[in-house]
Amino acid sequence: MQLAIFDLDHTLLPFDSDKAWNQFLIDIGAVDEDYYQENNERFYQDYLDAKLDIRAYQRFACEVLQNYSIEQVTEWRNQYIQDIVRPQLQIKALECIQAYKIEGFHTLIISATNTFIVEPIARLHGVDSFLGCIFEIVDGKYTGELTGIPTYKEGKITALDAWLDSQGTKAQTIHFYSDSINDRPLLERADQAFVVDPDQSLAELAHERGWPVIQFAD
């Protein structure tokens, strides 16, 4: 299988979809503003500093699904997708995905964001598959824990290998696009790495490795 893999936040999208979702919940009055603002900024800074505790963050991200019905949160998510995400889709990113599909590549998003948020955004981009952090559900209720492999740092490789095994196939070629030094493991695993509007650490690594630096921004 030939794979074209894309990170989501600050790669296909020009913003962080998880952070923006939390801000959306604050803006509509669904959550406590002070509590959410503090934690949203703290966890995001940890991500930028490449020291995020992914399980602790996802417990925080899951709280809204524990405090409200899935129907209510899904309605908010639909509004978030329509009002915040859709207007910021990047034409160059969409064209890149379609070009790979025409070439016969299987297109895949792998994101550290949870699949509750990733799934509708993946549909908007028309990718063939997606992987993300998966919230655990026990007896029909969200526990706040993750199930499976957290798709963060080295976990993206482990999750990808598990996904390939589940498909009964192997990766013949991997092209991977990302903005973040957190994705260094998968960038180094890929046959071709593409760096998209990188953070400083990744920009330095890209220069060292000779990886192309591109922009999806219009």
Give burial (CB, 10 Å; 0-12/13-18/19+) of 76: middle
Q: What DSSP string runs through 80-105?
A: HIIIIIGGG--HHHHHHHHHHHHTTP
Is 136 within 8 Å of 142 (Cβ atoms)?
yes
pLDDT, mean of residues 134-150: 94
Q: Please confirm, yes or no, whether 199 is among the known catalytic residues.
A: no
How far apart CA 48 and CA 25 sit, in angstroms, is: 22
pTM value?
0.94
The residue among 52 and 108 whose pLDDT is bigger is: 108
- Residue 48: the pLDDT is 86
Is 7 within 8 Å of 180 (Cβ atoms)?
yes
Taking only the tens place, the pLDDT of each residue in 8-38 is 999 999 999 999 999 999 999 999 999 999 9
179 pLDDT above the threshold of 90: yes
Half-sphere exposure of residue 107: CA atoms within 13 angstroms, side-chain side: 21
Q: Which domains does the chain have, with CATH numbers?
A: 2-13+90-214 (3.40.50.1000), 17-86 (1.20.1440.100)
Q: Where are the beta strands (DSSP E) in 53-172?
A: 106-114, 129-138, 141-147
Q: Please confirm, yes or no, whether 191 is among the known catalytic residues.
A: no
To the nearest whole number, what is the mean pLDDT of the chain?
A: 96
Q: How confident is the model at residue 218 (pLDDT cuts 50, 70, 90)?
A: confident
Is 105 within 8 Å of 3 (Cβ atoms)?
yes
Q: Pick the catalytic residue from 7, 16, 18, 183.
A: 7
Q: Which of 195, 216, 218 is nearest to 96 (CA)?
A: 216
Q: How confident is the model at residue 57 (pLDDT cuts 50, 70, 90)?
A: very high
How far apart CA 82 and CA 46 sit, in angstroms, is: 28
